[in-house]
Amino acid sequence: MKKFEEKTIRSKPIFNGKIITVQVDEVELPDGKRSKREIVHHPGAVALIALTEENKIVMVEQYRKPLERSLLEIPAGKLETGEEPAVTAERELEEETGYQAGKLEYITSFYTSPGFANEIIHIYLANQLSKIKNPAKTDEDEFVELTELTLEEAVDCMKNKRICDAKTVYALQYLQLLERK
């Protein structure tokens, strides 16, 4: 809504990294006062709810340095410049799991932390999975271990904090809603 709009007076880039950029904006608030906003720009990402024929959820375990621990997560990855989210979804499913989807359905998108970042994650449902003989390799600095869980097992992992990232919790709650219908 326009009544809450903040006008950018000046913007100062402060970091340009491999994945993110960070800037500090000076803004004019709706009441005419000024403030600063630290903003993280991210290219966006996709995440996949990949379901096997046995209705198990394909998950990856990987180490997350900011948390200093491993997490169980749904497969995901960042968008490459100019890449459509569905293409990213197919690529990440193959790289992280060795599967391809016979059916790929867009579910929704959400912003991860709109208070300071513009990162958006597009969630897809991948069904009719088949193993690829020679799948693309994961990124050279990415180490993942594959596991398949029932929805009940995944919910238990949420309860004991093995699953605690927003995209995976969001995906599992989506599956729970589908199950109730």
Measuring CA to CA, how many Å separate 2 from each of 7, 30, 35?
Answer: 10, 9, 18
Assess whether 140 carries a catalytic annotation.
yes
Tokens of 86: 């569905």
Tell me the residue length of the chain: 181
| Among 140, 145, 148, 153, the one annotated catalytic | 140
First to last CA, the chain: 34
Within 8 A by CB and 6+ apart from 8, the residues are 25, 26, 27
Q: For the chain, where are the E strands, in sequence order?
A: 7-16, 21-28, 34-41, 45-50, 57-64, 69-73, 76-78, 99-111, 120-131, 144-149
57-64/144-149 β-pairing? antiparallel
Alpha-carbon gap, residue 35 to 31, rounded angstroms = 11
Supply the residues annotated as catalytic: 140
